[in-house]
Amino acid sequence: MGALAIYPGSFDPVTNGHLDIIERAAGIFSKVIVAVAPNPLKRSELFSVEERISFLNEVCSKWTNVEVDSFTGLLVEYAIGKGANIIIRGLRFVSDFEFEFQMALMNRRQAPSIETVFLMTGAEHSYLSSSLVKEVAALGGNVEGLVPDIVLKSMLKKLQKKGS
Ligand code: PNS
């Protein structure tokens, strides 16, 4: 599909569920911009925006049509500035739907020319979220295979530092 799509999120940190969505999107759209946004509503930030971008740059380098960026302010304004008319969001459970529906409709009200497209994660990633991964890792649980290896290493290092 000859369209530029924005895949926005907190990505704190990127999980294998996000990568699954990026891969699907890269197969559909001519270009995908993965856009990191600080989310002021989320208080448990572990990685800085720069760190999140650096992880994403590393793990997305295998897709030639995927670019990593960050933005502040309104998502639709960022999308319009980039010349994109598609916003991608991943859907896991029905429970995601209510919030995602609200966001999509609010974004449409702000910018009717931009369409939100939902992609379903693979079943093996359906329970995965950055918050859950951080919580389990912080409590000493095993999150291997749920996040890219570079993220796993940095997360364990960071959590060790926090704990000491
Ligand atoms: O990964 P997340 O935390 O679910 O991503 C949420 C995100 C960053 C996509 C959302 O908070 C967002 O769009 N932030 C930018 C500010 C904005 O446009 N807010 C209005 C959304 S209707």
The per-residue pLDDT for 142 is 96
Residue 9 Cα to ligand 1 midpoint, Å, equals 6
Q: Which residue has the higher pLDDT, 42 or 8?
A: 8
Q: Report d(CA 84, CA 32) in Å as an integer.
A: 9
- C-beta of 10 in contact with ligand 1 (< 6 A): yes
For the chain, the average pLDDT equals: 94
pLDDT per position as a tens digit, 18-61: 999 999 999 999 999 999 998 777 667 899 999 999 999 999 99
| C-alpha closest to that of 147 among 160, 162, 129 | 129
Alpha carbon nearest to ligand 1 atom 5, residue: 9
pLDDT digits 0-9 by tens, 79-112: 999 999 999 999 998 888 999 999 999 999 999 9
Whether residue 74 has its Cβ less than 6 Å from ligand 1: yes
Instruction: Give the residue numbers annotated as catalytic, written as ranges.
Output: 18, 42, 92, 130
| Residue 74 clears pLDDT 80, i.e. is over it | yes
The predicted pLDDT at position 164 comes to 65
The vertex-52 CA angle with 48 and 53, nearest 5°, equals 115
> Which whole number is the average pLDDT over 132-149?
96
CB 12 within 8 A of CB 47: yes
Closest CA to 33 of 105, 73, 86, 74: 86
